[in-house]
Amino acid sequence: MSHSLVPATDYPQVVGQILRNEREAKERSQTDMAATLGLTQSAWSRIERGQAPINIEQLAVVAHNLGTTPSALLTKADTVVAAARERGVHVADKREADPLAVGLAVIGVAALGAIIATALSKQK
Could you report how far apart the first and last alpha carbons of the chain are, in Å? 42
Over range 64-89, report the average pLDDT.
94
Residue with the bigger pLDDT between 29 and 114: it is 29
The pTM score is: 0.76
The residue type at 123: Q
DSSP state of 4: -
Q: Mean pLDDT throughout 30-53?
A: 95
Mean pLDDT of 102-114: 57
Is pLDDT at 12 greater than 60 in this prediction?
A: yes
- Would you call 94 exposed, middle or buried from its count of C-beta atoms within 10 A (0-12, 13-18, 19+)? exposed
The more confident residue out of 122 and 34 is 34
pLDDT of residue 121: 72
Domains in the chain, CATH or no CATH each: 8-123 (1.10.260.40)
- Taking the C-alpha atoms of residue 87 and residue 84, their distance in angstroms, rounded to an integer, is 5
Q: Is the pLDDT of residue 105 over 90?
A: no
Q: What is the pLDDT of residue 23?
A: 96
* Burial zone of 54 (CB within 10 Å; 0-12 exposed, 13-18 middle, 19+ buried): buried
On whether the CB atoms of residues 44 and 66 are closer than 8 A, the answer is no
Average predicted confidence (pLDDT) for the chain? 84
HEC profile for 83-110? HHHHCCCEEECCCCCCHHHHHHHHHHHH
For 15-26, the pLDDT digits (tens) are 999 999 999 999
